[in-house]
Chain A
Amino acid sequence: MAEVKAKKKSEVVRVLRQLSKNKLAVLGGIIFFIEVIVAILAPVIAPYDHTAMDLMNINAGPSAAHWFGCDDLGRDIFSRIIIGSRYSITIGICAIAIATVIGCAIGAVAGYYGGWVDNIIMRILDVIQAIPGMLLMIVAAAMLGPGFLNTIMAMSIGTIPGMARMLRAQMLKERGNEYIEAETSINCSTFRIILSHLLPNCMSPIIVQATMGVGQTITLAAGLSFLGLGVQPPAPEWGAMLSNARAFMRTAPHLVIFPGLAIAVTVLALNLLGDGLRDALDPKLKN
């Protein structure tokens, strides 16, 4: 057995070091990081005002002045995608953050207590999950009405059951370990056991799921906007841009290609990152 160095390594540093060995995950991470920076600095970076119409350049193809061309109202698509990243990425992150917090709370209660508490919670989640995800979000969006905040709400409602189930399953598995009995025998409170011991050991798959979930939510939100139930024009959300462009798919394909590419690249980057995190978060892997 190897001798161990007495260095205090924080968990975050360890995970990052492990992650850095996976080149694809690093690539995904860098892409997503750049996108977040771009979203924050969007008004500075965007070369044009995303609402400014240039009637001379309606449906104009990519050029030196307009890198991604212009849309049916002559607006610069590059600027719109950059500004749009604020909507798409915010929706993705916020919806998943809300869903993770609520889902984990529900899952933790169900998984730790088990018995009838677990039964009731699981049956309610079953009912929610029995409705197809997209349909559920459409219904939620229709009831709440279209709009940015409501899209976030609709997205998170659809994601909560999956998160709750996943955490519950993890909790059931972890709860059988003897260290939980050990904590009970030293008078650790239930709250402390869940928060300080069970949750950290259950979080790996949740973090992976959340990372990938951001990408999926961006796609779903784009779908919702495409149907006209999400973020409303003139806001340049990527899905809304696609929806708007579908009439010109044949005559001006770049109207569809560039927002579509933005979505695809983001989702791909997040999936790569999620995959890498899955391995990096396992503490049993050697450094």
Chain B
Amino acid sequence: MATPVIEVQHLKKYFPTPRGMLHAVDDVTFTIEKGKTLGVVGESGCGKSTLGRTIIHLHESTEGKIFLNGKDVTRLAGKNLKAAREKMQIVFQDPYSSLDPRKTIDSTVREPLVVSGRYSKKEIDEKTESLMELVGIDERLRMAYPHELDGGRRQRVGIARALALEPEFIVCDEPVSALDVSIQAQVLNLLKKLQMEKGLTYMFVTHDMSVVRHISDDICVMYLGQVVEKCSSKELFQKPMHPYTKALLSAIPSTDIHNPMKREILKGEITSPVNPKPGCRFAARCPHATEACLQPQRQEEVSPGHFVTCCRVHEVN
């Protein structure tokens, strides 16, 4: 098997807070093959955005290892850090705050090329132009400011900026959740087209199950910093195994009005990720929880490529 573009082993990211350690990402392991998309889903505060930012070194990881094309890039500094960052880029959620309001979109897209110092003025001009064309931004809009554009076009600018340094891996952090449905579809199609043309590898962070199903090859379901279930996209939607995944899937309002799904309404709220107790973090809301769930949990491969972290997975299913 070819070396995966991204491999993450037992990655942890803790933040100190006045109330104790916040376990934003707690022991996450996965690989992403070249040209594939890993979807990461979960509710607000589950650490999915932090996970993406830690992998591309916007946060320093607390523990664990990150490999890029088989090379350990966990602890880097100076020139090596810069080289690694160029290979790993990010597209942000909020198309309003992710662009500098006082820079024209031309200079925003140009910025990474200028900063890299590798190109001449003429090359930068050419590259900027082709990037704009690639993401479908009209020639006339190049000198506009971000606030003059709609959300979809702003997101295209964000994508052009991420592509400028020809990365191999892009973290898409909820790139369409701030957009209207009709515009969302345009941006999703663009991301897919770019992936096919350039062989890009994506990690797609979202809370929208229908979007993640559409774009991902594999999916990780996160709950309070931990991966509770991991398998192929198809399998997750056909045979969800973890009680949380099941609840999550059944909570999606379906547009099918004739076959209303039987919904499993969860009781309670997400607990705090600060100083969590050992044991399953979902136990407090889980309808199937027993004493055994309060013990530390192990990840189990229930079928080839399908991992579930739940001690009662066989009883529940």
Contacts and interface: CB of A to CB of B under 8 A. Distances in A.
A adjacent to B, CB under 8 Å: yes
A251 interface: no
Interface residues of B, number: 39
Interface of B: 53, 56, 58, 82, 85-86, 88-90, 92-94, 97-104, 111-112, 115-116, 139-145, 147-150, 158, 161, 164-165
B81 to A, nearest CB: 8
Nearest to A183: B111
B112 A186 contact: yes
A185 B145 CA distance: 21
A6 B85 contact: no
A192 B112 CA distance: 12
20 contacts: A1-B149, A6-B142, A6-B144, A9-B143, A11-B102, A178-B94, A178-B97, A181-B98, A182-B99, A182-B158, A184-B58, A185-B90, A186-B89, A186-B115, A186-B161, A187-B112, A188-B111, A192-B115, A201-B101, A201-B102
B98 to A, nearest CB: 4
Given A187-B82, A188-B115, A182 B161 contact: yes
Interface residues of A, number: 27
Contacts of B145: 283
Contacts of B93: 178
Contact of A178 (B88, B92, B149): B92
A239 B147 CA distance: 46
Given A182-B99, A186-B85, A201-B101, 7 more contacts: A7-B143, A8-B104, A182-B158, A183-B100, A186-B116, A189-B115, A197-B103
Contacts of A197: 100, 103
Contacts of B88: 185
A203 to B, nearest CB: 9
A184 B115 CA distance: 11
B116 A4 contact: no
Nearest to A200: B102
A284 B101 contact: yes
A5 interface: yes
A6 B148 CA distance: 11
Question: Ordered nearest first, which 4 A-B pairs have the shortest CB separation?
Answer: A6-B140, A186-B112, A1-B150, A178-B98
A182 B102 contact: no
Contact of A2 (B100, B116, B148, B158): B148
A9 B143 CA distance: 8
A63 interface: no
B140 A5 contact: yes
Contacts of B86: 186-187
A211 B147 CA distance: 27
Nearest to B145: A283
A4 B145 CA distance: 9
Contacts of A200: 102
B133 to A, nearest CB: 15
A284 B147 contact: yes
B164 A186 contact: yes
A177 B115 CA distance: 20
Contact of A179 (B99, B115, B165): B99
Given A179-B97, A197-B100, A284-B147, A186 B141 contact: no
A186 B111 contact: yes
A248 B58 CA distance: 69
A182 B90 contact: yes
Contacts of A4: 140-141, 144, 148-149
Interface in A1-50: 1-2, 4-9, 11
Nearest to B140: A6
Nearest to B117: A187
Contacts of A192: 115
Contacts of B143: 6-9
Contact of B141 (A6, A182, A185): A6
Nearest to B106: A8
Interface string A175-214: 0011101111111110010000100110000000000000
Given A177-B97, A185-B58, A283 B102 contact: yes
A11 B141 CA distance: 17
A185 B89 contact: yes
B87 to A, nearest CB: 11
B125 to A, nearest CB: 15
Given A186-B112, A187-B82, A181 B58 contact: yes
Given A6-B140, A186-B112, A201 B90 contact: no
Contacts of A184: 58
B111 A181 contact: no
